[in-house]
Structure 1
Amino acid sequence: MASRVGPVTRAPAGTLIAIGAGAVVLGGLVAAVTGPFGWEHGSWAAAYLVLVVGVAQYAMGRMRPARPRPDRAGWVQVGAWNLGSLLVIGGTLLATPLLVDLGSGLLLLALVLALRAAWPGRGARQGRSSVLVGQAYRAMLLLLAVSIPVGVLLAHLRR
């Protein structure tokens, strides 16, 4: 019997996974050249790339539920997370707190979208992942959300 819904799409999830994995590698490369080039914020940038842009984004992709139709919220999440991260990194390296503020707003938007998608009963993958994994994932998203105001405050204090 043919399905009326159509094919299931995981495109935003795959994009989050691919960019996240690439950011882990990029963060490692940044860490490797930080010392020889004497970059002041190099170790911070490497850690941010690995942990926030890489690992967190990879986890978001792995936990993003498949959708039976185009996942616009998923694409907004991909764009907001990556543009927000670029603005935070750029604002930190350029000592421009306004860019950090703008990027942080986009990161919060992406986290809200990730939390909505991961909430039980909203299509979150409870079958493929255990309830404990889902709870740990949501806790990670909340921890990231709580850390954003701290980062914004630090960006303004370092000015």
Structure 2
Amino acid sequence: MARQTSDCPFCAIAGGADAHRVWEDEQVVAFLDTRPLFPGHTLVVPREHVPTLTELPADRLGGFLAAVQRLAGAMEHGFGAAGSLVAVNNRVSQSVPHLHAHVVPRNPKDGLRGFFWPRTRYRDEEHAAETARTLRRALGGSS
């Protein structure tokens, strides 16, 4: 099993804690952000506790980025989005010190301006669950 830290919430999710998972394999777990910019906003994290992108071993980079790439395509396909935003913070603005890529569906005039992003919440638990199911289907997984 990958090295994990007991006080890290993303390590807990990688270890099986409850989350709206949309993709996982041996190296990464992808799950819905609990405070999304838009429905479908997903976090992709390595199972191993790695604080920043610069600390991710080179032999794990391909698997991590492949998952990010797959999610970005699934967002466009699954939600009919015109594009996607992929962002990784290293330390600054990194609310959880565990490497994570934000993958967010985007459309023209969606209201996202610069780096002052309006965070929202899902309408309710079912809205979050349906959003996760849509992404799982778009990724070719089970719903």
Sort the TM-score into its range (normalised by shorter chain): 0.3 to 0.5
TM-score scaled by structure 1?
0.31
From the two aligned structures, give the one with the greater helix fraction. Answer: 1
Structure with more relative contact order (C-alpha pairs < 8 Å, separation 6 or more): 2
Identify, as 1 or 2, the structure richer in strand.
2
